[in-house]
Amino acid sequence: MATVRFDKATRQYPGNDKPSVDQLDLDIADGEFLVLVGPSGCGKSTSLRMLAGLEEVNSGRIFIDDTDVTDLSPKDRDVAMVFQNYALYPHMTVADNMGFALKIAGVDKAEIRRRVEEAAKILDLTEYLERKPKALSGGQRQRVAMGRAIVREPKVFLMDEPLSNLDAKLRVQTRTQIASLQRRLGITTVYVTHDQVEAMTMGDRVAVLKDGILQQCDTPRRMYDHPDNVFVAGFIGSPAMNLFDAKVVDGGVQFGSAVYPVDRSVLEGAGEVVTLGVRPEDMEISSGQGLPVEIDVVEELGADAYVYGHVQGTQPTEKPIIARVDGRTPPQKGEVVTFVPKGDHVHLFSLETGGRLGD
């Protein structure tokens, strides 16, 4: 069990103009499952490797359990890492793969066997202990890699996109198993993914990175309901939030032919135009004024349907507008539908800074 703290930790690779991770401040609680998420090149894997001791920290510090580990070698940090490519030894059995690190550390054979069998039971791998990795499926190999980490009984688990090599169905199944396993073991876990759905469904908290800078760290629900800036608003949620440039007018902001009411204090100093965000499920069809949208595509999903369209009079190639509607009575392709946002479900951001306006 351990707490983890990044204290203005920075990593800048030689020859790069900007740091890959820029003054990262992050506190991870004992037993917490924290997910680092962001687009490719945002610095999430670099942050994980800095914690593991695989990347140099150019400035700032990293602490595990209030112990400064910034200059410690990876073997002295008491962390276990699960990689994207499993990194199993093909000539060894599952049992030998899982117990190899303990063998190198000089742990007694009986103790190694006990720990391996215990981990195999947790991961439903008991019947595969004498098989070689080539005889296992991708999901089973991933569980072996997990088992190798578990038997070490580390203070912190580090997972670098461990599910990216699995097919979609197995990925959903395995992420549920990993989250459930982490809660049962109670070991502090830092998990890296580029998949925001994975992040939202697994993490106690989610930290969003962009260009090496932490954008927001919060619970999945809080981040979904109160994104701190335009980037987080557009990145978290599937399908993505609709973002519009909205003119500030008397009483609020313009939304098509309607005015969405906003308190004057929220818009004070925001300028003449703000960014207005509405999630697809918060767009509703109106028989009166609103935003006229011409429907381009209808995705029928049973109970729900997603409609993709464009503002009437603009080119369909421009950024589409997405709305979730009743799957039994969706609008038809080519139809023009007027949408308005549901009350209290609109997000406003500064056009200049991208920061959230209001609470």
DSSP, residue by residue, 41-109: TSSHHHHHHHHHTSS--SEEEEEETTEE-TTS-GGGS-EEEE-TT----TTS-HHHHHHHHHHHTT--H
Distance CA 190, CA 80 (A): 11
- Which residues face 300 on adjacent strands? 305
* Each residue's pLDDT expressed in tens, for the chain with a length of 359 residues: 699 999 999 999 999 999 999 999 999 999 999 999 999 999 999 999 999 999 999 999 999 999 999 999 998 999 999 888 888 999 999 999 999 989 998 999 999 999 999 899 888 899 999 999 999 988 889 889 989 998 988 999 999 998 887 888 888 888 888 888 899 889 999 999 999 889 999 999 999 999 999 999 999 999 999 999 999 999 999 899 999 999 999 989 999 999 999 998 898 888 899 999 999 999 999 988 999 999 999 999 989 999 999 988 777 777 789 999 999 999 999 999 999 998 788 999 999 999 999 87
The string of DSSP codes covering 272-313 is SEEEEEE-GGGEEE-SSSSEEEEEEEEEE-SSEEEEEEEETT
Q: In sequence order, what are the residues at sequence separation of 6 or more whose Cβ sits closer than 8 angstroms to the Cβ of residue 296?
A: 308, 309, 310, 316, 320, 333
